[in-house]
Amino acid sequence: MRIPFVTAVIASAVASAFACTVCAAQSAAPETSVGAAARTALGVTIYNDGEALVRDTRTLPLHLGQNKIAFRDVAASIRAETTSVRAIGGAGFTLREQNYEFDLLTPNALLNKYVGKEITVIHANPATGVETSEKATVLAANDGVVLRYADRIETGVSGRIAFGSVPATLRDRPTLSLLLDSKESGNQEAELMYLTNNMGWKADYIANVNAAGDRMQLNGWVTLTNRSGAAFENARLQLVAGTLNRVREQRQDVLNRSSYAAKAVAAPAPMQEEKLGDYHLYTLDHPTTILENQTKQVALLSAAEIPVKREYVLQTNNAYWWWYQGAHPEIQKGLKPSIFLQFDNKGGDLGIPLPAGVVRAYMKDSVGGAQFVGEDSIAHTAKGEKVSIRLGEAFDLTADRVQTDYKSLSQRSSQSSYQVEIRNADSKPATVTVREPLQGDWTITQESHSHVKESAGSAVWHVQVPAEGKVTLEYTAVVKW
Tell me the C-alpha distance between 124 and 418, whole Å: 89
- Residue 418 is predicted with a pLDDT of 92
Class of domain 310-342+387-480: mainly beta
User: Is it the case that residue 460 has pLDDT exceeding 90?
Assistant: yes
- Residue 248 is predicted with a pLDDT of 56
What are the phi and psi torsion angles at 281 (to 5°)?
Answer: -115, 130
Mean pLDDT of 316-339: 72
Mean pLDDT of 388-392: 95
Tell me the C-alpha distance between 79 and 82, whole Å: 6
Report the share of the chain in percent with pLDDT over 70.
84
User: Is it the case that residue 324 has pLDDT exceeding 70?
Assistant: no
Other C-beta atoms closer than 10 Å to the C-beta of 336 total: 15
33 CB-side CA count, 13 A: 11
Across 123-132, 190-199, 301-310, 354-363, least confident range? 123-132
pTM: 0.69
Mean pLDDT of 362-388: 91
Tell me the C-alpha distance between 44 and 239, whole Å: 8
- Residue 376 is predicted with a pLDDT of 95
How would you class 228 by CB atoms within 10 Å of its CB: exposed for 0-12, middle for 13-18, buried for 19 or more?
Answer: buried
Report the share of the chain in percent with pLDDT over 90.
44
- Residue 318 is predicted with a pLDDT of 61
Mean pLDDT of the chain: 83
Q: What is the pLDDT of residues 136-160, one digit of tens each?
A: 999 988 888 998 999 899 888 888 8
- Residue 63 is predicted with a pLDDT of 92
- Residue 104 is predicted with a pLDDT of 63
Alpha helices in 55-195 (DSSP H): 107-113
Residue-range domain boundaries for the chain: 1-30, 31-103+171-196, 107-162, 310-342+387-480
Do 107-162 and 310-342+387-480 fold alike per CATH? no
Cα dihedral 178→179→182→185 (10° resolution):
70
What is the CATH number assigned to the segment(s) 31-103+171-196? 2.60.40
22 band by pLDDT with thresholds 50, 70 and 90: very low
CA distances from 330 to 131, 292, 316, 404, 421 (A): 86, 57, 13, 10, 15
Query: Pairing state of beta strands 309-315 and 430-437?
Result: parallel
324 CB-side CA count, 13 A: 17
- Residue 278 is predicted with a pLDDT of 83
Mean pLDDT of 227-256: 73
Q: What is the pLDDT of residues 166-188, one digit of tens each?
A: 777 766 667 888 899 998 999 99
What are the phi and psi torsion angles at 396 (to 5°)?
Answer: -90, 0
Q: What is the pLDDT of residues 86-98, one digit of tens each?
A: 999 888 899 898 8
Class of domain 107-162: mainly beta
- Residue 112 is predicted with a pLDDT of 81
Mean pLDDT of 223-244: 89
- Residue 426 is predicted with a pLDDT of 95
User: Is it the case that residue 475 has pLDDT exceeding 70?
Assistant: yes
Please tell me what DSSP assigns to residue 355. Answer: P
User: Is it the case that residue 60 has pLDDT exceeding 70?
Assistant: yes
Mean pLDDT of 45-65: 93
Kind and range of the H or E run holding 5: helix 5-27
- Residue 236 is predicted with a pLDDT of 94
**Strand residue runs (E) in 32-173:** 32-34, 39-47, 51-62, 65-71, 84-88, 93-101, 118-124, 131-141, 145-148, 153-155, 160-162
User: Is it the case that residue 164 has pLDDT exceeding 90?
Assistant: no
Q: What is the pLDDT of residues 244-301, one digit of tens each?
A: 777 654 443 333 333 333 333 334 445 788 888 888 888 988 899 999 899 998 888 8
User: Is it the case that residue 419 has pLDDT exceeding 60?
Assistant: yes
Q: What is the pLDDT of residues 429-439, one digit of tens each?
A: 999 999 998 88
**Residue 307 CB partners (closer than 8 Å, separation 6+):** 214, 215, 343, 344
CA distances from 336 to 72, 74, 457 (A): 59, 54, 22
331 band by pLDDT with thresholds 50, 70 and 90: confident
